[in-house]
Amino acid sequence: MARDARIDVGAVLGAVVKRLPRVVIVTAALLVATLVVIMFMPRLYESSASILVEPRSNVYFRSAGEQAPASSSGDAGVVSSQIELIKSRDTLLTVVDKLGLRSVPEFNGTGAGGFSPLAVVSQLLGRKSTPVSVDEVVLNALYDRLTVIQERDSRLISVLVRSTDPQLAADIANAVADAHVARRAELSLSDTAEASGWLADEIAKLRVSVTAAETAVANFKVDNDLFIGSNNTSLADQQLSTIAAQINAAQERKNTALSRAALIRGMIEQGQPIDGVADVRESVVIQQLSQEKARLQGEKAQRSATLLSNHPTIQALTAQIAELNNQISLEGRRVADALEAEAQIEADLEASLRADMTRAKSSASTATQDNVTLDGLEREAKAQRDLLESYLQRHSEAVSRIQSSSALPDVRVVSLAAPSVSPASPKTQLILLAVGLVALSAQVGIIVFGELVSGRAIVPVRDTMRSQDELDEVPFVEAELEPEQRWEEPVGDLEPVEPVAELDETVPDAPAADMDTAPMPEEHQTAEVERFIQTLTRASESAPEPAPEPVAATVQTRPERRPAAPAELPGIVASADLTADLVLGRTHLLILAAHAANADCEILAEKLVTDALARGLSVALVDAGSARAGDEPGLADLSLDAASFGDVVQKSADNSFAEVPWGQGRIIDRNSTKPLTLVEALGDIYEVVVLMTGRVGATSTLPLFDSLDGRLVLVAGSDDDFDAVGQTREKLLSAGFHRCEIVAAPTRVAA
């Protein structure tokens, strides 16, 4: 059998220490050589100019109605585009021409600054380089010395230039920045100039179109007699309006004359005086008759003072007055006849006007149809006129902004470059430090590799461990093994039951730690729950663990020997399997739901708690299904906010496990989340939690705990029908519980 080997660290360190002087000498020599090379390298000075990229506008430069430019949403793309424009060939050629860099030895390749190791190697190898123009050489050198970067996530661009002359580096950086700003301004002016030329061409075309459109409108009006009168209305419309007004006036006069004539005749027939009617009163004859009547009535009144009514004088005056009244009535009838004649005249006038209205309507209908065509021509002419005026205004504004001083580019120089005082390259300290570290690391690595390859640092491992055959011969005591490694024997009077195939498939052999550390929901992490968990944890840590009792002495229940369940009924599990799963940690939280009575759950829970305590596990028993009110506060009081979390957790009679009773209340509030929070908290503290939810039905508290990650068990009584139990299990599965098992309740052994 091959024996194991290990690396002798002491030997490796000894070899390194032994060769340490040589390592130091070689490293120092490399540092000195590097320093000498650095001393002959040209010193490069770096200067920086800053350019700000942002939309610029001035209220005095903007045209009427133009709004200030908004900030661009794609800042990264805009700044990247500006950087590429700065490094473009056209911008750099402008700088070369402005500063005369073609005659500078550093950039035209004739000076020390243009020294290129690659060119020297090519000359030594005898290779003839392809001749290039001076502009290409200068541009390549300038591009190598130029760095354009964006300052973090801002709109600021830094133009960095390195050169052997600090003043030249500052001049180039400022020239690059100025050239870019001037180029952006020229681009803006070129756009404006192009727009001005295009507008001039369009205006010339539009003028011809506007003239033709307006001429077509005028010719159509003349050809169709569509003249416009006052108030911007056609003559036909005005004529119709005038005739309609005259007809209305004639009708009004006719109706007025007829009404007055009828009034006068009615008053005459009724014997009423007609002197008060305006038309009668205006008659000259009636005015004279009325005056004479008034004189005679005055004289009669004077004579009546001295003469009797049958006196001849009085009778004569009375006869004269009656004759005057008769004459006034005759004159009133003549006035009525005159009014009727006037009404007839107005009626004839109305008929004539209506005939004129008919003719005017006929003419207006033809004019209306022509107006439709005229409106289309006028709209076309107006659209052409508006477009021409708009283009004229824009052309005037564009012409006024072609001047070089009127453009505001979207970039500007915000910081000018200044000559640098200290060189930026080479970095002597950093280079020496890097050379030193690389030299030390390489030499130490070579030494270690050599020791390992030679085998001097490899030593065999002593046989301090026994072989596998020897271990197989060592006897062991089962009590020293973990609970998962022990053989499970039948407990007391319990009969061993073969596990169901469905259980083996659905219950994974997960460690208990994975199930006990399930995180509690955030909505239940209140301060009260945290204090409650801390209190229970301290109590469980301080309390001494109960000594494991003999299994035969702790078992108080014995399963009833009953006929085997039908083979087609799935999900049947023996109570012994539940106990084994609790002991091995496969099951942490057990939810018991009774098929017939909660007493079956209590019997099974008592057996499970007894078995778990016998194996030295910490147990918590929660009663959420008995509905028996007691003297101690419990789960019902917690759900009704009548008790706190710490008040409802009680110790059992023998102080061996934690117990949560039903409580003093009659019901558990189904809208409260505190019972669920309590069970989750107990699951974080105790190794085994048994929860009884009562009989499956309307009064069951099982829906309150449907979100728990526990094992649901349907407890069947000794007299329950298997078919009914299977139907109840199917109902629970259809209600949303992904797993439900059936366990027969054991028979309580008499004391």
Same domain, 58 and 91: yes
Same domain, 14 and 118: no
Number of domains in the chain: 3
**What tokens does 591 get?**
């939810």
Rounded mean pLDDT, 542-561: 40
pLDDT digits (tens, 9 = 90+) for 716-728: 988 888 888 888 8
Helix, strand, or coil here: 490? coil
- What CA–CA distance (Å, rounded) separates 499 from 507? 11
Same domain, 599 and 737: yes
Same domain, 103 and 178: yes
Q: Which residue has the higher pLDDT, 404 or 501?
A: 404
For residue 230, the model assigns a pLDDT of: 58
Same domain, 708 and 569: yes
- What CA–CA distance (Å, rounded) separates 602 from 600? 5
pLDDT digits (tens, 9 = 90+) for 319-356: 887 777 777 777 777 878 888 888 888 888 888 888 88
Whether residue 40 is predicted with pLDDT greater than 80 in this model: the reply is: yes
624: Cα separation from own chain's centroid: 45
Q: Is residue 266 part of a domain?
A: no
Same domain, 694 and 566: yes
Helix, strand, or coil here: 698? coil
pLDDT digits (tens, 9 = 90+) for 249-291: 888 888 888 887 888 778 777 777 776 676 676 777 777 777 7
**Cα three-residue angle 667-672-675, rounded to 5 degrees:** 80
Same domain, 48 and 37: no
Same domain, 706 and 568: yes
**What tokens does 586 get?**
């496969």
For residue 446, the model assigns a pLDDT of: 92
Banded model confidence at residue 186, pLDDT cuts 50, 70, 90: confident
- 47, β-bridge pairs: 161
Same domain, 35 and 85: no
Banded model confidence at residue 220, pLDDT cuts 50, 70, 90: confident
Highest mean pLDDT among 88-97, 498-507, 544-553, 732-741: 88-97
In percent, how much of the chain has pLDDT > 90? 16
* Long-range contact pairs involving 350-359 (C-beta distance under 8 Å, separation at least 24): 350/247, 350/250, 350/251, 350/254, 353/243, 353/246, 353/247, 353/250, 354/247, 356/243, 357/240, 357/243, 357/244, 357/247
Helix, strand, or coil here: 229? coil
511: Cα separation from own chain's centroid: 43
Whether residue 130 is predicted with pLDDT greater than 70 in this model: the reply is: no
47: Cα separation from own chain's centroid: 45
Which residue in 710, 715, 717, 716 sits closest to 739, CA to CA? 710
For 644, half-sphere exposure in the C-beta direction (CA atoms, 13 angstrom radius) is 11
Which residue in 196, 229, 505, 254 sits closest to 367, CA to CA? 229
Q: Which residue has the higher pLDDT, 548 or 233?
A: 233
Whether residue 566 is predicted with pLDDT greater than 70 in this model: the reply is: no
For residue 228, the model assigns a pLDDT of: 64
Q: Is residue 217 part of a domain?
A: no
For residue 63, the model assigns a pLDDT of: 55
Banded model confidence at residue 69, pLDDT cuts 50, 70, 90: low
Q: Where are the beta strands (DSSP E) in 458-610?
A: 458-460, 557-558, 589-594
Whether residue 80 is predicted with pLDDT greater than 60 in this model: the reply is: yes
Which residue in 536, 572, 576 sits closest to 682, CA to CA? 536
Q: Where are the beta strands (DSSP E) in 561-654?
A: 589-594, 619-623, 650-651
What's the mean pLDDT when you consider all of the chain? 76
CATH number, residue 694: 3.40.50.300
* Long-range contact pairs involving 298-301 (C-beta distance under 8 Å, separation at least 24): none
Lowest mean pLDDT among 137-141, 144-148, 463-467: 463-467
- What CA–CA distance (Å, rounded) separates 612 from 589? 13
Same domain, 638 and 693: yes
Whether residue 621 is predicted with pLDDT greater than 90 in this model: the reply is: yes
Whether residue 433 is predicted with pLDDT greater than 80 in this model: the reply is: yes
Q: Is residue 343 part of a domain?
A: no
- What CA–CA distance (Å, rounded) separates 491 from 478? 17
**What tokens does 599 get?**
């007493």
pLDDT digits (tens, 9 = 90+) for 369-380: 677 787 888 888
Rounded mean pLDDT, 90-116: 79
Q: Which domain holds residue 635?
A: 483-506+559-748
Whether residue 422 is predicted with pLDDT greater than 80 in this model: the reply is: yes
Q: Is residue 325 part of a domain?
A: no
pLDDT digits (tens, 9 = 90+) for 654-709: 888 999 999 998 889 888 899 999 999 998 889 999 999 989 888 888 888 888 88
pLDDT digits (tens, 9 = 90+) for 603-619: 999 999 999 999 889 99
Helix, strand, or coil here: 661? coil
pTM over 0.85: no
pLDDT digits (tens, 9 = 90+) for 450-497: 888 877 767 665 443 333 343 343 333 333 333 433 333 333 333 333
Same domain, 608 and 668: yes
For residue 464, the model assigns a pLDDT of: 37
Rounded to a whole number of angstroms, the CA Rg of the chain reads 60
Give yes or no for a contact between 571 and 730, defined as CB atoms under 8 angstroms apart.
Answer: no
Q: Is residue 497 part of a domain?
A: yes
pLDDT digits (tens, 9 = 90+) for 1-22: 444 567 888 888 888 888 899 9
Same domain, 669 and 595: yes
Rounded to the nearest 10°, the torsion over CA 134, 138, 139, 145 is 170
For residue 167, the model assigns a pLDDT of: 92
Burial class (CB in 10 A: 0-12, 13-18, 19+), 689: buried
Rounded mean pLDDT, 635-640: 90
Q: Which residue has the higher pLDDT, 158 or 234?
A: 158
**What tokens does 285 get?**
């004859």
How do strand 557-558 and strand 747-748 relate by DSSP bridges?
Answer: antiparallel
Q: Which residue has the higher pLDDT, 224 or 246?
A: 246
For the chain, counts of helices (H) and of strands (E): 24, 15
For residue 698, the model assigns a pLDDT of: 84
- What CA–CA distance (Å, rounded) separates 630 from 503? 38
Phi, psi dihedral angles at 224 (to 5 degrees): -115, 15
Q: Which residue has the higher pLDDT, 542 or 5?
A: 5
Q: Where are the beta strands (DSSP E) in 313-429?
A: 411-415
Q: Is residue 118 part of a domain?
A: yes
- What CA–CA distance (Å, rounded) separates 9 from 29? 29
**Cα three-residue angle 283-285-287, rounded to 5 degrees:** 70
Helix, strand, or coil here: 134? helix
Q: Is residue 726 part of a domain?
A: yes
Q: Which residue has the higher pLDDT, 569 or 242?
A: 242
Which residue in 540, 556, 546 sits closest to 649, CA to CA? 540
Q: Is residue 308 part of a domain?
A: no
Whether residue 37 is predicted with pLDDT greater than 80 in this model: the reply is: yes
